[in-house]
Amino acid sequence: MTEVLGIAVGVMSVIVAALVVAVFALARQVGILYERIAPMGALIVDAGPKVGEQAPGFSLPALDGRTVDIGKPGATSTLLFFLSPTCPVCKKLLPILKSTARSEAGWLRIVLASDGERAAQEKFVRQARLEEFPYVLSTELGLAFKVSRLPHAILIDEAGRVTAKGLVNSREQLESLFTAKELGVSSVQEYLKSA
């Protein structure tokens, strides 16, 4: 009986040792994959005002009657977020925008932009509870920034210059615009290439 117990303990020791080696090998592979797959920032579409250029200036009426200045010098940076009530990815990002508006309120103003029928947009604002954001309807705004796909975000600094832009499908891509501004580069990908 003692002999069988000794053999069982020996076999279990070999199995545990093999598992420890396997865990370390997997951890190493995860580290290698992490290095190979760099963070993905917002997808920059090379159309519209380039990063570093002055943004086109607009004074537009918001759905709530306020006048919203875009592309003009101001006290805070502006995140111009193009969306549509029929865009499922846009709707997925709305809680992230609300969270970002609260956490970055000291330096950032978020402006929502769309085009289309006013009544449908007002209904969307009520349903999604977006009253806290200035919401402008302007086809000219989208044309000036050459927005062709949604959701599209443009970060404009306090001086009215475009500091980052691109298609955003996730929190990480949205935050990559802020990271690019902090690093003084046009995109996170540009920074990673130069590093």
Residue 71 sits in the same domain as residue 29 = no
What pLDDT is attached to residue 115?
94
pTM across the whole model: 0.77
Structure tokens at 21: 């080696």
Q: What is the sign of the dihedral through the CA atoms of 63, 66, 67 and 71?
A: negative
Q: What is the residue whose two structure tokens read 């846009």?
A: 90
Span between the terminal Cα atoms of the chain, in Å: 63
* pLDDT per position as a tens digit, 171-189: 999 999 999 899 888 777 6
**137 phi and psi, to 5 degrees?**
-110, 115
Compute the distance between CA of residue 179 and CA of residue 149 in angstroms, rounded to an integer: 22
In a domain, 43, yes or no: no
What pLDDT is attached to residue 185?
82
* pLDDT per position as a tens digit, 97-110: 999 999 999 999 99
Banded pLDDT at 1 (limits 50, 70, 90): confident
In a domain, 49, yes or no: no
Residue 24 sits in the same domain as residue 109 = no
What would you report as the CA-atom Rg of the chain, rounded to the nearest whole angstrom? Answer: 24
CATH number at residue 151: 3.40.30.10
Q: What is the sign of the dihedral through the CA atoms of 159, 164, 167 and 172?
A: negative
What pLDDT is attached to residue 140?
96
Structure tokens at 9: 């303990």
Averaged pLDDT of the chain:
90
Compute the distance between CA of residue 33 and CA of residue 18 in angstroms, rounded to an integer: 23
- Relative orientation angle of helices 88-103 and 171-183, to the nearest 10 degrees: 50
**Domain tally, the chain:** 2
Q: What is the residue whose two structure tokens read 């769309």?
A: 114
Residue 3 sits in the same domain as residue 73 = no
Residue 64 sits in the same domain as residue 114 = yes
Residue 71 sits in the same domain as residue 136 = yes
In a domain, 51, yes or no: no
Banded pLDDT at 5 (limits 50, 70, 90): confident
* pLDDT per position as a tens digit, 113-147: 999 999 999 999 999 999 999 999 999 999 999 99
What domain range includes position 176? 58-194
* pLDDT per position as a tens digit, 38-57: 556 666 766 789 999 999 99
Arithmetic mean of pLDDT, 138-158: 95
Banded pLDDT at 81 (limits 50, 70, 90): very high
In a domain, 53, yes or no: no
